[in-house]
Amino acid sequence: MPAAGSHRTLVAIPAYNEAVTIRDVVERVRANLPDCDLLVVNDGSRDDTAARLAGSGATVVGHLCNLGYGRAIQTAVVYAARHGYDRLVTLDADGQHDPAQVRTLLNEFDSGRWDLLIGSRYIVTKQYTGVPLGRRVGMQLFSTLVGLVAGRRVYDTTSGLKVIGRQAFVPLTTWQFIDFHAEAIVYLMSLGYRIGEFPITVAERQHGQSMYSWLSAVKYPLKTSLMVVLGVVEARLARRRAS
């Protein structure tokens, strides 16, 4: 098994009410990535997530109340930046991502071509087959929107498996993001960061519920579209301020 080299890598798992799966996910990460540090951001879970993490060997950052996925990721980014990590891997707590695939993702990231690498479910086929209609429309919409405003399409804007290089830590903690999806991708691309996609496969969700309810299915596209456009504006202003 290739080592992660001299890079310090932090694997961060944001978790909200994932008591059923979290322990297994942590153990699989520790088994597959023994050279990486592990951080779980317990985002105000009301179930036994915190108890299940006791003695797991992971560092646990516990939000006192639920702040949402975007803020949980932001907490992990802040932690990684403060502790001098070179890269941050984000992974879902529902067990859909296979930690074994992180190794190949890290190897690709080590090529030095990317500042942020997305584990993509759709980069190979470039189609959203097998996805429910509502989600498929959303994915098409955001992929097209990213292509229009940032100049290059990203096929999996909602993937939770990402590798983030330390150079991207500061911009990700200085502006606001909803879910670290299309709006964060566009913001970073507009700032000149190199974002790539690498093929992965995901397992079906076995337990718990998706973080998207029917209400958020209406609000999410509106909010994210607005933030995508504002992300471009903000990035241009930031570049102008810097120059």
Partner 1 sequence: MTAAGILVGTALGVVLLIWVVNLIRQDRLYAGYGVIFVFGTLAAIIVLIIPVLRDAATAATIALLPVASLSLVAIVILTFLMVYVFIQITVLSNRVMRLTQELALRNAEEQSGVESRAAERSGSRT
Residues found near partner 1 in the complex (CB under 8 A): 39, 41, 59-65, 67, 71, 74-75, 78-79, 82, 175-176, 178, 219, 222-223, 226-227, 230, 233-234
Tell me how far, at minimum, the Cβ of 238 lies from partner 1, in Å: 11
Tell me how far, at minimum, the Cβ of 219 lies from partner 1, in Å: 7
Strands, DSSP E only, in the chain? 9-15, 37-43, 59-63, 87-90, 116-120, 162-165, 195-199
Tell me how far, at minimum, the Cβ of 228 lies from partner 1, in Å: 11
Between 41 and 123, whose beta carbon lies closer to partner 1?
Answer: 41
Between 4 and 72, whose beta carbon lies closer to partner 1?
Answer: 72
Q: Which two tokens stand for residue 147?
A: 């292509």
Tell me how far, at minimum, the Cβ of 39 lies from partner 1, in Å: 8
Sign of the CA dihedral 51, 57, 104, 180?
positive
Q: Are 39 and 10 in contact (CB under 8 A)?
A: yes
Angle of helix 182-190 relative to helix 133-150, nearest 10 degrees?
Answer: 10
3-state secondary structure of 146: helix
Give the contacts of 175 (CB within 8 A, at least 6 positions apart).
187, 231, 234
Tell me how far, at minimum, the Cβ of 114 lies from partner 1, in Å: 27
Between 60 and 131, whose beta carbon lies closer to partner 1?
Answer: 60
Cα–Cα distance measured from residue 229 to residue 187, given in angstroms and rounded to the nearest whole number: 9
Between 67 and 141, whose beta carbon lies closer to partner 1?
Answer: 67
Phi, psi of 119 (to 5 degrees): -75, 110
Tell me how far, at minimum, the Cβ of 62 lies from partner 1, in Å: 5
Q: How many CB atoms lie under 10 A from the CB of residue 48?
A: 15
Between 79 and 193, whose beta carbon lies closer to partner 1?
Answer: 79
Phi, psi of 242 (to 5 degrees): -70, -35
Q: How many CB atoms lie under 10 A from the CB of residue 122?
A: 19
Tell me how far, at minimum, the Cβ of 15 lies from partner 1, in Å: 13
Between 67 and 131, whose beta carbon lies closer to partner 1?
Answer: 67
Between 128 and 175, whose beta carbon lies closer to partner 1?
Answer: 175
